[in-house]
Structure 1
């Protein structure tokens, strides 16, 4: 009987250890919200935003002039038309460093204005 009890205890311990990473992943994911202000096509403040993989991310973007933005890797577009604020919302499912490019005509038509770093 004692051997059976020890075996059951070991099985419970193994089950808990196997499920622990899943519980940690659920706790680690969170919501991240950022307000980004563009002036003259440049970010005022930090130009790299850092989040964890699995986070729900919301970018609220304002600009002093109309601008079209594209978040590479996630294929999300936003048109900012002052004085309105544009929003990009996504789940950070891909790890890496992703540029947010300005799309416009002429020189500098594909220039990164912001980076999103998604850490595993």
Structure 2
């Protein structure tokens, strides 16, 4: 291989590597949602859809205090009215993940919301 061919090959590999990195970085984004829980139910869409690699930010409000648990990611947050609670994570696992209410007695582990992470 000539010196010129070697330099061209190195330049091509560098451009391809940088372009691939830029494409991955461009594909990941921040997805923000605002969810209101009234009477134990989500007002609006009960399924949030994001892509693997996204940063996810879900602002949650409720008229009563509750503990929420995002299964699969093992994240718990406490919602204390009137302030919103923030559920934030990087969507690095693909699948459909329920957000359950953790209470004592009836309604324990009832899913109020689903987060779908698509490949």
Which runs of 5 or more structure 2 residues have no equivalent in the other structure?
none
- State the distance in 2 between where 1:8 and 1:111 align: 61
Residues 5-56 of structure 1: CA distance to partner in whole angstroms, max 9, x if unpaired?
4554355334433443322111111111110000111100001111111111
Corresponding residue of 2:81: 82
Aligned-pair distance for 1:115? 0.7
Equivalence for 2:101: 102
* TM-score, scaled to structure 1: 0.86
1:44 aligns to what?
Answer: 43
Give the deviation of 1:110 after TM superposition: 0.6
Report 1:1-120 matches (<5 A).
5-6=4-5, 8-120=7-119
Q: Distance in 2 between matches of 1:8 and 1:73?
A: 47
Runs of 5+ consecutive residues of structure 1 not aligned to the other structure: none
DSSP-derived class of the 2:16 partner = helix
Query: What is the count of residue pairs matched by the alignment?
Result: 119
Task: Report the Cα distance in structure 2 between the residues aligned to 1:79 and 1:45, rounded to whole angstroms.
Answer: 21
The 2-side partners of 1:90 and 1:4 are apart by 48
For residue 78 of structure 1, give the secondary structure of its aligned residue in structure 2: strand
The TM-score, its normalising length taken from structure 2, stands at 0.86
| Secondary structure of the corresponding residue to residue 24 of structure 2 | helix
- Structure 2: distance between partners of 1:11 and 1:87: 46
